[in-house]
Amino acid sequence: MASQELATPSAARRRIWMLAWPIILSNITVPLLGLVDTAVVGHLPDSRYLAGVTLGATLFSFLYWGFGFLRMGTTGLTSQAVGRESDSEVRNLLGQSLLMAAGIGTLLILFSRPLISLGLWLLDGSEVATELAAEYAQIRILSAPAVLANYAILGWFLGQQNARVTLLILVLTNSVNIALDLLFVVGLGMTSDGVAWATVIADYTALFFGLWLVSQQLKLLEGRFLRERLLTMAAYAELFHVNANLFVRTLGLLFAMAFFTSRGAVQGDTVLAANAVLLQFIMLTSYALDGFAHAAEAIVGRSVGRRRWDEFATTVRTAAWFSLITATVASLAFAFGGHYLIALLTGLPEVRATAGSYLPWMVAMPLIAVWSYLLDGVFIGATAIREMRNSIFIGLAIYLPVWWATQDMGNHGLWLAFLTFSLVRSAVLATYFLHYRRTRWHPMAPSL
């Protein structure tokens, strides 16, 4: 496989930017689909359909986010195999990841009824909305194998430093979904079930397109699929180990987000809505920061596989440069334009005023959280997943006591606790990184 040297900082900047921009653009397409779903269902004569779709879509956001390890784990291991110039390993990692995705997706369908019931019970919507959400979810769950397989495909291509596939697949998925939303709901008179079927068909369309792209890429790789690598449980040991730690880490992150939301909710609907608006600021920042983190995953993984520690160091420095500039721009935008952004997201005066009072936390957040985004990418590429898991749970061990001690501060205390969680995560990952730069990730380090 051809490799691209990163001998100079300018070459590294070009390579990281070429990998990052398709990911950033892909991320921006995601909320567009949500807006179309909302607009289509929101124009139906009864608001219960919008409530049902919102509840069901929230359930799947959490459910599928939990299985994001299929993307991250595949990226890290594939990029290292690329660095070792092992085409056979690259090929078989894809096979293993797709089989794992198919197995998990099938289990989700088989156990869909209890899973959906539990999830909707936890979301605690109204009886009518929950009933419609259950109908929506029973249709939407049928795409689980396709969604998880697409995660594996995206991770596999990113591990080979091909980020444009991410853009192609997501643009196709969202375009088909939007077109079918309009056809089924506006054209054929369906309701929330039409939105669900549109998503299922779009997910399988993306899968077939992704598999076609895979077939073209496999023609460029030497080697072949090995039965013992695909059908022997022992051959999955490394993939299971990486993905298990990523899964546990994601559960911890989900808990942190759910706790923040629930503690805001008990302070009233206005605080809950204000926090939801401000969390959109974090989401907007993450679109860009994720692009540079994912680029770092692919290049760092290849550097680790090749044991090119000069390339490793150049990549981390360059990705940090991009990330810090992005975080600084975000902080300045929130400081000087935050009130205008809030006004774009809500027209409710009380929510605007409440969100504005917590805006200083948004100014600080990008500069604190940027390091956890970046170092997550570095550690995924190096498959140092246990350390990522540890950073989440050490962060939670500080987050919860800080919240408890600052309850008298109300929502400011909650934001302080959440910011502290991000700060601790960044500090723990930075400590690991500095330690491993001295002991593992340098030219004199022993072979792993």
- Provide CB contacts within 8 A for 240, sequence distance 6+: none
Find the helix packing angle between 127-140 and 112-123, rounded to 10°. Answer: 140
Report the alpha-carbon distance of residue 201 to residue 190 in Å, rounded. 15
Low-confidence stretches of the chain (pLDDT < 70) are 1-7, 30-35, 37-39, 42-43, 46-47, 125, 444-448
The mean pLDDT of the chain is: 88
User: Which string of DSSP letters, residue by residue, matches 206-252?
Assistant: HHHHHHHHHHHHHTT--S---HHHHH-GGGGHHHHHHHHHHHHHHHH
pLDDT at position 2: 40
Q: What angle do CA 287, 293, 297 make, to 5 degrees?
A: 140
pLDDT at position 17: 92
Beta-carbon-side half-sphere exposure of residue 229 (alpha carbons within 13 Å): 17
- Provide CB contacts within 8 A for 166, sequence distance 6+: 22, 23, 26, 154, 157, 158
Q: What is the pLDDT of residues 25-63, one digit of tens each?
A: 887 776 666 667 666 776 677 667 777 777 788 788 788
pLDDT at position 3: 44
Torsion angle, alpha carbons of 352, 354, 360, 361, to 10: -110
Report the alpha-carbon distance of residue 173 to residue 209 in Å, rounded. 10
Report the alpha-carbon distance of residue 31 to residue 254 in Å, rounded. 19
Q: What is the pLDDT of residues 91-100, one digit of tens each?
A: 999 999 999 9
pLDDT at position 1: 42
